[in-house]
Amino acid sequence: MTRFAAPIAEQIWDMKYRLKEADGTAVDKTIEDTWHRIADALADSEPERAGEFYAALEDFKFLPAGRITAGAGTARNVTLFNCFVMGTIPDSMAGIFDMLKEAALTMQQGGGIGYDFSTIRPKGAGVKGVAADASGPLSFMDVWDAMCRTIMSAGSRRGAMMATMRCDHPDIEDFITAKSDAARLRMFNMSVLVTDPFMEAVKSGGAWDLTFDGTTYRTVEARDLWNKIMQATYDYAEPGVIFIDRINRMNNLAYCETIAATNPCGEQPLPPYGACLLGSINLARLVEHPFEEAATLDYDALSDLVTTAVRMMDNVVDASRFPLEQQAREAEAKRRIGLGVTGLADALLMLGLRYGSDEAAAQTEVWMKAIARAAYLASVELAKEKGPFPLFDAEAYLASGSLQHMDDDVREAIREHGIRNALLTSIAPTGTISLYAGNVSSGIEPVFAYAYTRKVLQKDGSRTEEEVVDYAVQMWRDKFGDADLPDYFVNAQTLAPMDHVKMQAAAQKWVDSSISKTINCPEDISFEGFKDVYMEAWETGCKGCTTYRPNDVTGSVLSVSEEKAAPEVLSTTDDEPRQPHGDVVYISEPLDRPQELDGSTYKLKWPDSEHAIYITINDLVVAGHRRPFEVFINSKNMEHFAWTVALTRMISAVFRRGGDVTFVVEELKAVFDPRGGAWMQGKYIPSILAAIGGVIEKHMIATGFLAGEGMGLKSDPQADVVNIGHRPGPACPSCGQYTMQMIEGCMTCSSCGHSKCG
C-alpha cells in the first residue's frame, strides 16, 4: 500500500523532494523516510517532539514548503527559506553591484529574491562627478535578469525574482511597459507599488507628480497612469499591483520596519533582508463526512495541527542556513513565519459549497480566523517557553492594523506574555506541493481542472495513458461512481472574476502577510470590466491584485472540459526517472540529416581576440518554411575549442528536436561575461556567447523564421510534423508540454511541476 493518493504525487516526490545521493541512489526509500527526515531535523533542539512533528506531516496534513521538504535533514548547504527581499539598493554604481553580488549568492543557495528598484535615479538624471546621465533602473534590471539566467539554484530550480517600483517614480511608465518586449526581463515578476494618495487621485481625476529625491520630473494625470498599468496587465498579464500603503499600515511590525518589496509571488511583503518561511495546512485532509449533510471541518484537529506547525516553523528559523549574515539577523530578530492553507477549494466542495459564493466566502473567513487564532495563541505559548521575538514591543505591536480586529483574549495573552513570531500567516503558491499531496486544489485557488490525461513512458518504451484527477473529484467518484458532479463544482475557467476577488478579500482579513492568487479573466472581458476587478480588490481590502487574461500575447491557459478530450502530457514511471526535458519532445523522433542542406556562414570578430569565430547555420525546409537544423562554430583560437564544440552539439541537438527554438537566441543573448563585454556596431554585447546568439538571431530573421529582432517565433514551420496533441498556449520550458497554468501569479506546469517562480 502507498500513502500517495495519485501516481503524479509519487512522481513529484521522487523528482523534487526525495533525498538521493549524487549518483541517484535513493536515501529516502519511502515517503515515510522523508517525513522522518524532516521531523527529526526540525526536532533537533527538542527531540521529544519528533513523533508529534511526524504525525503532523503524515498523510500530507501539514505541508512545509518545498525548500524545507527537500532540504531539511540533508546536511546540504541550502536555505530552508523560500524567498528573500534584498537590501535597499543604493543609488550608486558600487552599491548597485554590491547588491547584484548579494542577489547571486542568495539565488545560488536556492532563494528567490525581491527588489524595489525605486531607489535608483531615473534615466537621464545627472550623475555627479562623471559628466554623464544615469541609465535608469530598467537598465540595471536587465543586468539582474542576465545574472539570474546564469545561476541554477539548489534542487534544479532557477532563481525567481520580483521587481517593484513606486507609482511616483519618474521611470514608472517604462517599468509598466517593459514586459511588452517578450525577450526582456523574463526572469522577473513585476509589480507597481500603488499608494493610497494615488488611488484617491485616480478616483477623483487628479494630477500625479513623478518625483525622485525631492525633484518633480513631470506631472501626469493619475487616471492616465492607472490606465497604462491596466492596459499592460490586460495585454501582457504584468505588472501586478501591490497596495503598498495598506501593507505598511496593517503590518504588525510597522513600528520598526518599512516595506517596499515582496517575494517573487507577492504573498510575503518583506523589509530589507527579510525572508519568507512557508508552510500550508491541507484543509482537504481535515473534512469529516465529505459530501454528506454532516460534512464539517474538524476544528479540534485543525487547531492541534496549526499549533504543531507553528512550533515546527519556528524551529526552522534556527535550523536554516542563510546565504547572507544580514538575512540571518533579520530572521532571528523578528522570527517571521508564513503559515497558510492549500486544498481550500476541495474542502469547500466537500461541504457542498460553490467556490465564489457568499456562503463559501463566509466559510473561508471562518476557517482563516480559526487558523489565525490558533497560530497566534500557539506563538504566545512558545513565547512563554522560549521568549518573544527580540524586537517585540507590546503596545506598539498591538496598535498595528492587523491586530485591531483580533479577539480580546488573544490580544491580552500577547500583552501579558509576548509572542514568539512577529507575523504568522500567509497564503503561498502551492502548485508543486499540492500535486505532491494528491493533486489537491492549490492554495486558495479554485479547482483548475477536474481531470486531464498524461502519457506515461514505460520501461519497455511503450506509452500508457494516465488520468490525473482533482482530489475532491476523485473522492466524489469513489463515493458516488459515475454520478454527475453537482452544480456547485466550478473551476477557474467558469468563475466570474469578481468571485475570485470575493474569495481573496475574505481570506485576507485574517492573513497578516499577504496572499498569492491569480484572478482568471475571460479573454473577452472588456477593458472597463477588467479595471473594475482591480478597483474591487482595492475597495474590499486586498493587499494586491494579479490577473491573467488569455490572449494572443500571453497564450491560452490550459483548459480542460469534461466533455472534450483532455490534453496529453508525457512523463516517466522509471524507478530512476530521467529529467523531464529528456523525456518530452515536440517531434516524435529527431529528424535525420538530409544529404544536402542550405545554409550560411558568418564571420564574428570579437574585439581583442586574435582569431575570428566562424558560425555556419544550416536550414531544413519543412512545409515550405526554412527552420534552423544545425550549427557549426569554428575558430583557430584553441582557447575556444572545447566550449565551441560543446555549444555546436547542444544547439544542434535542440534544433533537431523541433518546436519553438527561439529561446536559444534569448538565452545566449542574455549571457554576460564578468570580465566585460564589447561595443559592436553601436550596441553593447555582454559576452562572446551573446554575440553568437545575435548572429543566430540575424540568420533566423533573414530566413523568415523570426519576424524581427526580439520578436519571437513568427509561425511554427514544423507544425505539421508534431504528433503530440496539445491545446494552444505556452509550452513548459522544462518538459516542453503545453500544460502551463497561471496559478497564484505564477506560470506552473501541471505535468512536471516546473514553476517560473522557483
Average pLDDT over the chain reads: 85
The counts of H helices and E strands in the chain are 24, 32
pLDDT for residue 399: 96
Annotation marks residue 315 as catalytic: no
Cα–Cα dist 753/580, whole Å: 10
Please say whether the beta carbons of 339 and 306 come within 8 A.
Answer: yes
Res 647 pLDDT > 70: yes
Please state the separation of Cα 282 from the chain's center in Å. Answer: 20
Q: Can you tell me the mean pLDDT for 24-41?
A: 96
Please say whether the beta carbons of 436 and 468 come within 8 A.
Answer: no
Q: Can you tell me the mean pLDDT for 242-251?
A: 97
Q: Which of 512, 189, 256 is nearest to 375 (CA)?
A: 512
pLDDT for residue 421: 98
Half-sphere exposure of 249 (CA within 13 A, CB side): 10
| Residue 457: band (very low, low, confident or very high) from pLDDT cuts 50, 70, 90 | low
Res 751 pLDDT > 90: no
pLDDT in tens, 214-231: 999 999 999 999 999 999
The structural domains of the chain, ordered by start, are 1-82+277-448+466-556+738-758 (3.20.70.20), 89-268 (3.20.70.20), 598-721 (no CATH)
Q: Give start and end residues of each alpha helix (H) in 394-452.
A: 394-398, 408-417, 431-436
Q: What is the CA radius of gyration of the chain?
A: 26
The lowest-confidence range among 128-137, 484-493, 697-706 is 128-137
Q: Which of 387, 426, 398, 402 is nearest to 81 (CA)?
A: 426
pLDDT for residue 681: 76
Annotation marks residue 263 as catalytic: yes
pLDDT in tens, 549-571: 987 666 654 434 344 333 333 33
Residue 606 DSSP code? -
- Phi and psi at 452, nearest 5°, equal -150, 165
Dihedral, 67, 69, 75, 81 alpha carbons, nearest 10: 30
- Phi and psi at 220, nearest 5°, equal -125, 170
Q: Can you tell me the mean pLDDT for 265-294?
A: 96
The lowest-confidence range among 292-301, 350-359, 467-476, 495-504 is 467-476
Q: Can you tell me the mean pLDDT for 59-78?
A: 92
Q: Can you tell me the mean pLDDT for 288-311?
A: 97
Please state the separation of Cα 473 from the chain's center in Å. Answer: 26
Q: Which of 44, 188, 15 is nearest to 581 (CA)?
A: 15
Please say whether the beta carbons of 523 and 549 come within 8 A.
Answer: yes
Choice between 596 and 725, residue whose per-residue pLDDT is larger: 596
Burial (CB count within 10 angstroms: exposed 0-12, middle 13-18, buried 19+), residue 271: buried
Please say whether the beta carbons of 203 and 252 come within 8 A.
Answer: no
Q: Count how many residues are written for the chain.
A: 758
User: Per the structure block, which three cell numbers stand in for 492?
Assistant: 477557474
pLDDT in tens, 161-200: 999 999 999 999 999 999 888 778 888 999 999 999 999 9
Cα–Cα dist 708/655, whole Å: 19
**Residue in 83, 167, 265, 746 annotated catalytic:** 265
pLDDT for residue 235: 92
Cα–Cα dist 510/679, whole Å: 54
DSSP string for 107-134: HHTT-EEEEEGGGSPPTT-EETTTTEE-
Percent of the chain at pLDDT exceeding 70: 83
**Residue in 189, 248, 263, 421 annotated catalytic:** 263
Res 249 pLDDT > 50: yes
Residues 6+ apart with CB under 8 A from 411: 398, 403
Cα–Cα dist 650/646, whole Å: 6
pLDDT for residue 668: 87
pLDDT for residue 659: 65
pTM, whole model, 2 decimals?
0.77
Res 622 pLDDT > 70: no
Please state the separation of Cα 69 from the chain's center in Å. Answer: 17
| 290-294, 490-494, 593-597, 660-664 — most confident range | 290-294
Annotation marks residue 267 as catalytic: yes
Q: Which of 668, 674, 671, 637 is nearest to 650 (CA)?
A: 668
Q: Which residue has the cell 564578468?
A: 674
How far is residue 750 from each of residues 282, 452, 458, 740, measured CA to CA in Å?
19, 9, 20, 6
pLDDT for residue 728: 37
Cα–Cα dist 13/35, whole Å: 11
What are the E-state strand segments in 154-262? 157-158, 161-166, 188-194, 207-212, 215-221, 240-243, 261-262
Q: Can you tell me the mean pLDDT for 83-102?
A: 93
Q: Which residue has the cell 558568418?
A: 602
**Residue in 267, 536, 630, 697 annotated catalytic:** 267
Q: Can you tell me the mean pLDDT for 531-539?
A: 97
Cα–Cα dist 211/326, whole Å: 30
